Structure 1
Amino acid sequence: MLAGKKIGIGMSGSFCSLEASLKAIRALKETGADLYCIMSGMVYEEDSRFMDAKDVREQMEEITGHKIVTTIQEAEQFGPKDPLDLIVVLPCSANTMAKLANGLCDNALVMAIKATLRNLHPVVLGIFTNDALGNSGTNIMKLMNTKHIFFIPFGQDDPVKKPNSMVCDPNQLVPTCISALNNEQYQPVIISF
């Protein structure tokens, strides 16, 4: 179902989830999809205690076989000129969700998402945020009610120590993409870990 599909992989700044995201992206590549990576400046440039930016860049270029898209001008190609069949944002930070929910576009990743939506093609979000049940909750619900936006199933990762935090299950990336291409939200979208 995904073999030969042109799929964008957007990565935003949820550094603690990069390793799990890379594993899921490798599984997506094994389906035969043609992957293109678009990174926010934060992920492309900033080292964290979880991974060095250089390692993330090298792994993504090795997985996709394509140069990473980092500028708004490069991301514009995914509009009518060279459209994606689908774009996945994994990890998707609260900051990226807020931009999408409020129509802001200030980096390559958001431009690629907006270009994909312009073409009426699906966008799959894999959220990782410490305030999903706080300030980011309104953005999540707004995006859940937006045409062509779908979510990798997500739930509370630590309700005792981080009661507002929710993360997706990256292991459900492939079935979520298949459902999104059929214009359906993979269910259940709210899960328990």
Structure 2
Amino acid sequence: MNKIGFAVTGSFCSMDDMLDVLKQLCQNYEVEVFVTPHVYKMDTRFYSHSELISHIQNITGKKVHTTIQEAEIYGPHPQLDAVVVYPCDATTLNKIDLGINDNCVTMLVKSCVRNQIPIVLGVYSNDILSSSGVHLLSLFNKKNYYFVPMFQDHYQKKPQSMIADKNKVVNTLKAAFLHQQYQPFILGYKKI
């Protein structure tokens, strides 16, 4: 059974989708979960931090990883077959592109990239078609980064916004194991 690192960042409106994706992945993979400090400590209008972490741990049956030290070990001692960052907010996407490793998730990605492990990014961003777009395109052209197909979630009210299709994560991961980008990667508009 393949072992997956599942990394959760602070696109808080997508936490229900994230929990659905985590359940899907746990059916076929051994999953270790890594979270950013905001996910681990911040209460939002969607979930309290303790409630969210409890949901994650109930699904996986494991404690979540929260520190840089916990993530760093996956570089010198490879233990994962792939990493899925879902949701991947724009701040995390930009940091990954620039090689910044200042939290558990960015350190995990940086540690695994050095071992040529596929990194699957499920982007949720209100500015991916504006200021963060350059980082998406940069990563799209780098080796071992793969994107969950994404669509504009509300092109009239949020024309720069796109989100990953939660129903395409598993197929994107399967393609990433073959070092292929699951296509099409841009889906247009989808009413949610």
Q: TM-score, normalised by structure 1?
A: 0.95
* Equivalent position to 1:176, from 162, 172, 185: 172
- Separation of aligned partners in 2, 1:41 and 1:161: 30
**Match for 2:81: what amino acid?**
D
Match of 1:68 in 2: 64
**Match for 2:166: what amino acid?**
P
Task: Give deviations 1:49-69, integer Å, cap 9, x for gaps.
Answer: 111111211111122222111
Match of 1:150 in 2: 146
Match of 1:23 in 2: 20
- Separation of aligned partners in 1, 2:6 and 2:52: 13
Task: Give deviations 1:138-167, integer Å, cap 9, x for gaps.
Answer: 011001011000000001110000000000
| Gap regions ≥5 residues in structure 2 | none
Pairing 1:95–2:86 present: no
Q: Alignment identity in percent?
A: 40
Contact kept in structure 2, 1:94 and 1:136, CA below 8 Å: yes
4+ residue stretches of structure 1 with deviation over 3 A? none
Task: Give deviations 1:96-124, integer Å, cap 9, x for gaps.
Answer: 01101111110111011111101101000
Contact kept in structure 1, 2:78 and 2:115, CA below 8 Å: no
Task: Give deviations 1:64-100, integer Å, cap 9, x for gaps.
Answer: 2221111111111211314210000001000001101
- Separation of aligned partners in 2, 1:26 and 1:57: 14
- Separation of aligned partners in 1, 2:2 and 2:60: 13
Superposed, which structure 2 residues align to 1:40-59 within 5 Å? 40-59=36-55
**Match for 2:5: what amino acid?**
G
Match of 1:110 in 2: 106
**Match for 1:34: what amino acid?**
E
Question: How far does residue 189 in structure 1 lie from its aligned partner after superposition?
Answer: 0.4
Pairing 1:79–2:67 present: no
| Gap regions ≥5 residues in structure 1 | none
Match of 2:9 in 1: 12
**Match for 1:154: what amino acid?**
M
User: What's the Cα RMSD here?
Assistant: 0.9
